[in-house]
Chains A and B, each alone.
Chain A
Amino acid sequence: MNAAAAAASPTREFAAGFARDRVAVAALALLGLLLAAALGASWISPQDPYDLAQLDILDARLAPGSASSAGGIYWLGSDGQGRDLLSAILHGLRISLGVGILSTVAALAIGLVIGLVSARAGGWIDALLMRVVDLQLSFPSILVALILLAVTGQGVDRIIVALVVVQWAYYARTVRGAALVELKREYVDAAVCAGYGEARILFRHVLPNVLPPLIVVATVQVAHAIALEATLSFLGLGLPITEPSLGLLIANGYTYLLSGQYWISVFPGLALLLAIVSINLVGDRLRDMLNPRLH
């Protein structure tokens, strides 16, 4: 490492390190693009796919590039209800990314608190919390989510709750492991000697040091949450059929696969694939950089 790099701020150094992997940079750019498209879906998509009054059943299942009855063009074709697939994908992406990120942030927050408390408290509290985590992790997440949604019904909010329930345990376990190591460090003893309160020690001193592994887990989990939401929607338990997410679009198109109308499920599938792959590539790069053993 040369002197110039050492002199730069940690953030810039980190960015420079990240940029050394071209693939990760491309993935980050793609992810940014997808995020921007999802956020801007209402402005850039030619049609509001959730407004039933804008759909026309006579435009159902048109091939990519066909003209719509309203005068526009279905660049990626239309689905069985005459929904413009490009618009539906942009809106679907917004739901998928939104659900993935929101549920991950919420699960992360819950897991963080439980993990830190568990590590610091030790004893029976630790044992109890970790057995709950074990129990949670022993059920396949898709099964837990399916049962929850079958009980609570459809809706974006219910999906997010279900995803939080199946994800928090990963974070709790990761945080506890990292925190146990950190709690044995001298700076914690120093903080205790200085007479700081428990909350301050945990959240001001320990927390920043357990974040790096957590960020890695979180990026991978966002992708996992998106895939899970798509699976649930595909199985018909996610969102209302008139407001399709990517998984539901794929499910709708699946019935037409054998009849050659590939675009109805292939394009939403590609969008889902791009989102998940780009998140995973960025996550991988972060893991490489934040894992001290790889340096």
Chain B
Amino acid sequence: MNGKSFIAALCAAAALFAAVPAPAAELRIGLSGEVTSLDPHLLASQPNLTVARHVFESLTDVDPQTKLIPGLAERWRALDALTWEFSLRRGVKFHDGSEFTAEDAAFSIARPLSIRGSPGGFASYVRAVESATAVDRHTLRVRTKYPYGALPEELNSILIVSRRHAQDAGPEDFDSGRAMVGTGPYRFVRYQRGDRLELARHDGWWGKAPAWNRVTLRVIPADPSRTAALLSGELDVIEHVPSADLKNIIKNNKLHVTQTTSWRTILLHLDQYRAQPPGVSGPDGRPLADNPFRDPRVRRAISMAINRSAIAERVMEGLAVPAANVVSPDVFGHNAALKPQPYDPEGAKRLLGEAGYPKGFRITLAGPNNRYINDEQILQTVAQLLTRIGLQTRVEAMPMSAFLGRVRKEETAVSLLGWGSFAADLALRSLVAAPNPEKGYGAWNWGRYANPKVDALMEQALASVDRGRREALAREANTLAMQDLAFIPLHHQVVSWAMRADLAYVARTDEFTFAHHFSPARR
């Protein structure tokens, strides 16, 4: 071998090495939310779904901007107003090597309703489903109880489990790993509750092979600890970068940040159903004659008193976009013509006076202190701003679990909530529709705002299987609800990820963090 050919051989060898991914490619991700269970059908919380979606997939998927794309179903269509047909992807293998079929899909759609003692959430996604049946191995037919245009979106939240492994499995079998057999890009290795989930690459996955053969998802809810773990090199990526640390991480040249406007809207619900809402009283502490929030002028005054740009800049350090819509800009049914209410404390005072409250009144503002970005600070700032227009405001901030308990007992009147949705009509159904447990309407409409016009438009939108017509109706319903201030929109969160400089991630509107979507950055 002469010198030249030796060098050529070396180069070829080097090229070969370069083409093969590094053998120990591991990705360690710091997640911000507590994971309560690995069972993908137990509780519809984003932290639970984040980890579950590494192992399981759904029939329909969404891209980083929340547009629907094919998942385990390659395509779907409405055969008539009540029947949908899903053509399933062929050759998809579960982690145990068995083939994914329409039987697994039908089983998975039925499973959420069969779990006893479920803290809930998933039932609402399959409420419209009358039956799901396998026509053949790769065709699933879903019949709905009523015309329902949002079925493809709803099925995105139903993860497909292996019928064979999940048939008799309870949540504990998922936590132990026995039933953690999905079709997703990663398979289960080990789970330590409250600490970490270890995963290994599923080499038979139908999608583009992820760059990492091992993934560790760490659960670190404390913001400073999560940042510290990234800075110290213990983690490669963190989600939900604490706003206070953002500037420093951006300055750090070993790290970088990617961010986008999230689908999550932060809002205030105002009690509109009780004559004497709890925590609301006259300026002297005596009960008011009537519920002030029923007066649209009072709702408008509250909206005018809130300095949304100050919250976005000072409290959120830029991680917020002032809101005027039920859903954020990328989402189906958003109306760009609606503009955030400008800050106008003088106008707000005037409106309060016109409504018969020249001296204001007392309110109690309640919300979580561990759920949304800077939630506790937002509550304090809103209290500060409302106090300026004469509403003496007390703040009750508590952990999300305690807060939800108070809400269920109907002990709050002005409550902070964050809501993310694929579409305006779906968001309105949960947040604004007059509560109706049978239909699953208004489950999160804590103020019990009720407007038959909004409800009718929302229902028509959801019943439209034609997407163009559906979006027009959803936008109209959204506009009407916001002009009437069904709730007070504050801002849309900006969601951010911080990672090593040699990693890349496409920021997702739906806030999900997926190991398989991280790639080594091109230098």
Residues on A facing B (Cβ under 8 Å):
51-53, 55-58, 60-61, 80-82, 236, 240-242, 254-261
Contacts and interface: CB of A to CB of B under 8 A. Distances in A.
Nearest to B396: A240
Contact of B395 (A82, A242, A256): A242
A236 to B, nearest CB: 7
A241 B376 contact: yes
Given A57-B307, A58-B310, A261 B244 contact: yes
A272 to B, nearest CB: 19
Given A241-B397, A259-B244, 12 more contacts: A52-B380, A53-B388, A57-B307, A60-B315, A82-B314, A241-B376, A241-B380, A257-B224, A258-B227, A258-B228, A259-B245, A260-B248
Interface residues of B, number: 31
B223 interface: yes
Contacts of B311: 57
A242 B310 CA distance: 19
B228 A80 contact: no
A56 B310 CA distance: 10
Contact of A57 (B227, B385, B393): B385
Interface string B339-383: 000000000000000000000000000000100000011011101
Nearest to B397: A241
A211 B224 CA distance: 46
A258 B314 CA distance: 17
Contacts of A55: 384
A259 B397 CA distance: 24
A58 B314 CA distance: 7
Contacts of A53: 384, 387-388
Contact of A241 (B310, B393, B395): B395
Contacts of A236: 369
A255 B369 CA distance: 13
B254 interface: no
Contacts of B314: 57-58, 60-61, 82
Contacts of A52: 380, 383-384, 387, 393
Tell me which of B224, B369, B380, B394 has the highest count of chain A C-beta atoms within 10 A of its own C-beta.
B380
A261 B231 CA distance: 17
B375 to A, nearest CB: 11
A57 B316 CA distance: 11
B384 A256 contact: no
Q: 6 tightest CB-CB pairs across the interface, nearest first?
A: A52-B387, A60-B314, A52-B384, A53-B387, A256-B244, A259-B244
Contacts of B242: 255
A274 B387 CA distance: 34
Contact of A81 (B244, B248, B381): B381
Contacts of B247: 259
A82 B383 CA distance: 13
Interface in B235-275: 242, 244-245, 247-248
Tell me which of A57, A240, A261 has the highest count of chain B C-beta atoms within 10 A of its own C-beta.
A57
Nearest to A58: B310
Nearest to B247: A259
A80 B245 CA distance: 14
Interface in B201-228: 223-224, 227-228
Nearest to B246: A259
B224 A258 contact: yes
A289 B376 CA distance: 48
Given A52-B393, A241-B395, A241-B397, A57 B224 contact: no
A149 to B, nearest CB: 12
14 contacts: A51-B387, A52-B387, A53-B387, A55-B384, A80-B315, A80-B377, A82-B314, A236-B369, A240-B395, A241-B395, A242-B380, A258-B224, A258-B231, A259-B245
A242 B377 CA distance: 10
B343 to A, nearest CB: 11
B51 to A, nearest CB: 25
A257 B242 CA distance: 12
B388 A254 contact: no
A279 B223 CA distance: 34
Tell me which of A242, A256, A260 has the highest count of chain B C-beta atoms within 10 A of its own C-beta.
A242
Contacts of B379: 241
Contacts of A254: 224
Contacts of B231: 258
A242 B380 CA distance: 7
A61 B314 CA distance: 8
A190 to B, nearest CB: 60
A152 B377 CA distance: 24
A234 to B, nearest CB: 12
Nearest to A257: B224
B315 to A, nearest CB: 7
A71 to B, nearest CB: 17
Nearest to A236: B369
Contacts of A242: 380, 383, 394-395
Contacts of B384: 52-53, 55-57, 81-82
Nearest to A255: B244
Nearest to A240: B395
A240 B244 CA distance: 22
B371 to A, nearest CB: 13
Contacts of A261: 244
A226 B224 CA distance: 25
Contacts of A255: 223-224, 242, 244
Tell me which of B384, B385, B387 has the highest count of chain A C-beta atoms within 10 A of its own C-beta.
B384
Interface in B171-230: 223-224, 227-228
Contacts of A82: 314, 384
A257 B223 CA distance: 11
A81 B369 contact: no
Contacts of B245: 258-259
Nearest to B389: A53
A61 B244 CA distance: 11
